[in-house]
Amino acid sequence: MNILKINFKKSQGSVTAEFAILMPVVTLIIGIILSVFAAVSTNIRCQNTANHVAQQLVAEKYASGSTLAVDVAGLVYSGVNNKASWEVINQSPYIKIIIRSKVFIGPIQIIPIEVTGEAFGYIV
């Protein structure tokens, strides 16, 4: 009968030790996954906003030297974020819109990456 008796006192702290090792690893993996999701989401918003700005500029028939009738800054800041930068390059008859935004990835948000959205427009 003593052979079937299991001594639980020897393994009393092993669950706590396993939890102490696994919990930071799981937290780190979840943080990285959420950060990558945020970067991809910002990249999609940059691209969509660049497409929208290009459509607006083509609709206004943006020409070299003319003032922008379209509020590009307002479109960019509302579409991406207020820290995004934008540039309109006029290569007549084409225009190129570049929108850049920095995203910090990692569980403690220390690794900066820059995401970019580009769009072209043809002005007739």
Mean pLDDT, each 10-residue run in order, the chain (124 residues):
59 73 88 88 91 85 59 80 85 88 81 90 84
Provide the b/e sequence for 20-35 (b: ≥16 CB within 10 Å): eeeeeeeeeeeeeeeb
Instruction: Determine whether 19 is exposed, middle or buried from the number of CB atoms within 10 Å of its CB (0-12, 13-18, 19+).
Output: exposed
Q: What local confidence, expressed as pLDDT, does residue 5 receive?
A: 64
The number of folded domains in the chain is 1
| Any domain includes 117 | yes
| Any domain includes 29 | yes
Range of the domain at 41: 13-122
Question: Concatenated DSSP letters for 77-92?
Answer: HHHS-TT-EEEEEEET
Q: What local confidence, expressed as pLDDT, does residue 104 receive?
A: 85
Taking the model in full, what pTM does it have? 0.73
| Any domain includes 92 | yes
| Residue 101 and residue 40 in contact, taking contact as beta carbons nearer than 8 Å | no
| Any domain includes 47 | yes
Taking the C-alpha atoms of residue 118 and residue 98, their distance in angstroms, rounded to an integer, is 5
| Any domain includes 61 | yes
Token output for 5: 């008796």
| Any domain includes 8 | no
Nearest to 75 by CA among 102, 97, 104, 103: 97
Find how far residue 65's CA is from the centre of its chain.
33
